[in-house]
Amino acid sequence: YPHMVFDNFLPPDIASAIASEYPSLETMNSNWKFHDNQNVRRHFVEDTSEFSPRFKQFAAAITSRSFLLFLETLTGIPALLSDPYFMGGGAMVTGNGGFLNVHADFNWHQKLQSWRRCNALFYLTPDWDEKWGGNLELWTTDGKEKVKEVPPLFNRMVVFTTTSSSYHGQPVPISGPPDTYRRVFSAFYYASAKQDGIDDHPHFTKYNANNNDVVAEKETSPYAELITNNYIKKGSY
């Protein structure tokens, strides 16, 4: 499926300034979520009110008119919508042993009443060593074979279109020095028009058993049933 990898996406001084203010587990509070099950192990925070001033500016920039126009030009998808809720995304922190099994993303945003169309992932860990793992894996649309690995190098951005068969993940657990953390800011974009390849009915994230022989594929269910106080229930994606 269509994707692009940008190295040195931000000016170096801006990337370093943002990285210096990346939300940390040391400041973690009740607004952080921790998913820890057979499919995923990582911390994340969606609430931009928890961010520092420069990090709030970064979140505003990637939901702005200019960035939407950039994504529309890049992907060819018209009338994209950003998600101010960062539902299921935001600042993600994955430590040693953390992983995210291969999956196709949930396809419907209940609050925006729109279909998910593309993801933008911003990697913000300075001096990441590829020996620690944590690679993003892109798989075939039948979920049977890995096609590409993308190391989470600092100031790298990955953009890809999302359908109900755009399988991807970080299934190999991180293995690095103590207090090693893979930091990625995940932003998802939507449109009122549904493209071919997106299931007609809202569904959960679909995990793929082919990347982990002890994990059964998660069956689809109405996405609206997952919403509680504007958030997805723990362990649902």
What confidence tens digit (pLDDT) does each residue in 59-107 have? 999 999 999 999 999 999 999 999 999 999 999 999 999 999 999 999 9
> Which residues, in sequence order, are bridge partners of residue 177?
none
The pLDDT tens digits of the residues spanning 176-193 come to 998 889 999 999 999 999
The pLDDT tens digits of the residues spanning 96-155 come to 999 999 999 999 999 999 999 999 999 999 999 999 999 999 999 999 999 999 999 999
From residue 162, alpha-carbon distances to 106, 115, 189, 197, 232 in Å are 9, 10, 9, 9, 19
Global pTM reads 0.88
